[in-house]
Amino acid sequence: MSVRVSRRSFLKLGAAGLGASSMAMMGFAPEQALASIRHFKLTGSTMTRNICTYCSVGCGMLLYTRGDGAINVIDQVYHVEGDPDHPVSRGSLCPRGAGVLDFINSETRVKYPEVREPFTNEWKRISWDEALDRIARHMKDDRDRNFETHDDKGQLVNRWLTTSMVAASACTNETAYLTQKIARALGMLVVDNQARV
Amino acid sequence: MKGVNHSFGSAPSGIMEPPEVLLPQPDIFARRALRMRELAEQVPPLADFLSFMARMVQAQQQVLDGREPAWRPTPGAFDVALEHGMPPLSAASLRRELDWRADLAALLDALELHVAERQSPLLEALRAKTDDQLEELAELILEIKPGTDADRGLLPFVAAAMQVAWARLALALPRTPERPTGAARSLCPCCGSRPVASVIHIEKDRQGVRYLHCSLCETEWHLERVTCTTCHKGGQLHYFGLDEADGKLALPAQAEACGHCNSYLKIVPREFNASAEPLADDLASLVLDLMLDEQGTYARNGYNPLLIAG
């Protein structure tokens, strides 16, 4: 929904307006207030509404980020609290959700695809393209090898039992729908959701 | 705990059920006066102004407690409005009915002994006004116009008297109106006026919940956090606060500024100071308005009738 915003409804309360304001007209000198600007520092933060990633309850969260959205500034989340307006959680968070700040800012947080090749013990960073190609390759090979069209009794089954899918908890209905479509189209029977764990 | 009823049955609604609309408390002005005196000490550049306003607000409480108005609505007067979600105390329709001018006279009497030399001519000027002239001043306030330089110094007194008259009615409403919806979400459900600022409460049944505070009748109504009070979008809300030079938080009030429509309304989180009060803290954080005006991106959207810009 959009509301027409009229500039007329905004009120100018600046240095110029203050000199002719009711305060000045009532005999209170605005000079001191104007000069006091120098004593203060303007701090900016941004607040964003989000959904907890951890489980299927999907509690509402308010994320506080330092900075005012200016370009070239790397925002850092510094505070998280329950969203009091969220219909499910009404401002409450469980200990795991309330501790999400440490997860967000964790040094070991996984931020990009990595691979640990067979017979090595270190993680290697790879690109998203490479990661997706490799996953697709593995899936294709496995499906080609293990896809069953008929069971022991000769009944048509068209199933792929050797690979399963675990969906994320913080997904919308639309994501869940797509997950289902893709997994079932491939013949996958074992689909689960990490929200259950 | 109230439940939520739907066609499949009922379900518990959650752990907190905040009230949608809060009618004013009978001691609203006394608490505001207390806070203003506190702020007068904390903000030296505005000490004189805030002390005077504290006296005026204290006088408002005196008038609210002491005066019985000549006109009271009949018991069922607001039933139709309440039933259909219209503001029952609509400022425009009640202006001529309410004897707010008598409240003004009482307010001026209560202030008489407390004003300094600079301010006493204002009281005289107001007493000399005819009813029609006073009505014109009231119209400036309801239409949020600055008026002439000579009138501007009088407007806060008139607004204070009107606040008393409307708060008295809001206090006596038989039940709370429903929360406004749609484009009217930022207008008072009692009188249809604009908010002064918003406040985040800390009481158990409304902890962390944001309410807008009416500039006229002192009613508060719920608006979701992280929602712009002008365009009601939520994606780009920035919160500007004031720090002292040493990095300590100067005042609890922040400006909730929207990157979509470039407007801001002050928000007063009582988590930082339990006695913080939207109107008083808005006045005391004037420096925040000045700094944002200097920066030039955001325009103010709150109307504080005790400080009217020229």
Residue of A nearest to B255 (CA): A44
Q: How many CA atoms lie within 13 A of B239 on its CB side?
A: 20
pLDDT of residue A187: 96
Work out the average pLDDT over A87-108.
Answer: 91
Intra-chain end-to-end CA distance of chain B, in Å:
49
* pLDDT score, position B284: 96
pLDDT of residue A3: 44
pLDDT at B191: 93
Residue-level length of chain B: 310
pLDDT band at B79 (very low <50, low <70, confident <90, very high): confident
Residues of A in contact with B247 (CB under 8 A): 41
Smallest CA–CA distance from A63 into chain B, residue: B226
Across the interface, of B241, B287, B300, the residue whose CB is closest to A33 is B287
Q: What is the mean pLDDT of residues A100-104?
A: 91
Q: Chain A partners of B301 at a C-beta cutoff of 8 Å?
A: 9-11
Q: How far apart are CA A162 and CA A167, in angstroms?
A: 17
Q: In this complex, how many residue pairs, one in chain A and one in chain B, have their CB atoms less than 8 Å apart?
A: 194
Residue A1 has pLDDT above 50, yes or no: no
Asked whether the predicted pLDDT for residue B10 surpasses 70, the reply is yes
Q: Are B298 and B266 in contact (CB under 8 A)?
A: no
CATH number of A45-104: 2.20.25.90
Q: CB-CB: which of B16, B118, B300 is closest to A11?
A: B300
Q: Do A43 and B287 touch (CB under 8 A)?
A: no
Is B156 close to A22, i.e. CB distance below 8 A? yes
Tell me the mean pLDDT in the region B108-120: 91
Task: Please work out, in degrees rounded to the nearest 5, the angle formed at the alpha carbon of residue A156 by the alpha carbons of A155 and A157.
Answer: 110
Percent of chain B with pLDDT over 90: 73
Hey, are the CB atoms on A23 and B303 less than 8 Å from each other? no
Nearest Cα residue in chain A from B304? A11
Confirm if A22 and B307 have CB atoms less than 8 A apart: yes
Of residues B118, B225, B301, nearest to A85 (C-beta): B225
B48 pLDDT exceeds 70?
Answer: yes
Confidence of residue A2 (pLDDT cuts 50, 70, 90): very low
Which residues of B are less than 8 Å from A15 in CB distance? 290, 293-294
pLDDT at B75 over 90: no
Q: Are strands A124-125 and A114-115 parallel, antiparallel or unpaired?
A: antiparallel
Q: Please state the three-class secondary structure of A52-121 as a single string.
A: CCCCCCCCEEEEEEECCCCCCCCCEEEEEEECCCCCCCCCCCCHHHHCHHHHHCCCCCCCCCEECCCCCC
Residue B178 pLDDT = 92
Separation in Å, CA of A184 to nearest CA in chain B: 30
List the single residue in A16, A20, A45 with the smallest CB-CB distance to B239: A45
Segment A66-70 shows an average pLDDT of 69
Q: Quick one: which of B121, B149, B123, B151 has its CA closest to B136?
A: B151
pLDDT in tens, B177-232: 999 998 899 999 999 999 999 999 999 889 999 999 999 999 999 999 999 999 99
Bridge partner residues of B257 (DSSP) = B238, B264
Quote the mean pLDDT of chain B.
92
**Which pLDDT value is given to residue B1?**
44
What is the pLDDT at residue A4? 47
What is the structure's pLDDT at B130?
95
Would you say residue B16 has pLDDT above 80? Answer: no
Q: What is the mean pLDDT of residues A97-121?
A: 93
Chain B environment of A37 (Cβ under 8 Å): 287, 290-291, 294
Least confident interval from A98-112, A115-129, A133-147: A98-112
The model's confidence at residue B78, banded by pLDDT at 50, 70 and 90, is confident
Residue-level pLDDT at B20: 95
- Looking at the predicted structure, is the pLDDT value of residue A6 above 60? no
Q: Which residue has the higher pLDDT, A38 or B270?
A: B270
CA of A171 vs chain B CAs: smallest distance (Å)? 19
The string of pLDDT tens digits covering residues A147-196 is: 999 999 999 999 999 999 988 777 778 988 999 999 999 999 999 887 66
CATH superfamily for B182-300 is: FdhE-like domain (3.90.1670.10)
CATH number of B21-171: 3.90.1670.10
- Name which of B16, B39, B49 to mutate to probe chain A: the one with the most chain A Cβ atoms within 10 A of its Cβ: B49
On average, the pLDDT of chain A sits at 87
Q: Could you give phi then psi for residue A80, rounded to 5 degrees?
A: -130, 135
Percent of chain B beyond pLDDT 70? 97
Task: Summarize the confidence of residues A62-72 as an average pLDDT.
Answer: 76
Residue-wise pLDDT for B259-306, tens only, equals: 999 999 999 999 999 999 999 999 999 999 999 999 889 999 999 999
Residues B78 and B217 sit within 8 Å (Cβ to Cβ): no
What band does B250 get if pLDDT is binned at 50, 70 and 90?
confident
Other C-beta atoms lying within 10 Å of the C-beta of residue B160: 24
* Contact assignment for A3 to B230 by CB distance below 8 Å: yes
Here the ipTM equals 0.88
CA distance A36 to chain B (A): 7
Residues of A in contact with B44 (CB under 8 A): 32
Residue in chain A lying closest to B239 (CA) = A45
Query: Among residues of chain A, what percentage have pLDDT more than 70?
Result: 89
- Tell me the mean pLDDT in the region A37-56: 87
The Cα of B285 is separated from the nearest Cα of chain A by a number of Å equal to 10
**DSSP SS3 for B282:** helix
Domain range annotation of chain A: 12-39, 45-104, 147-196
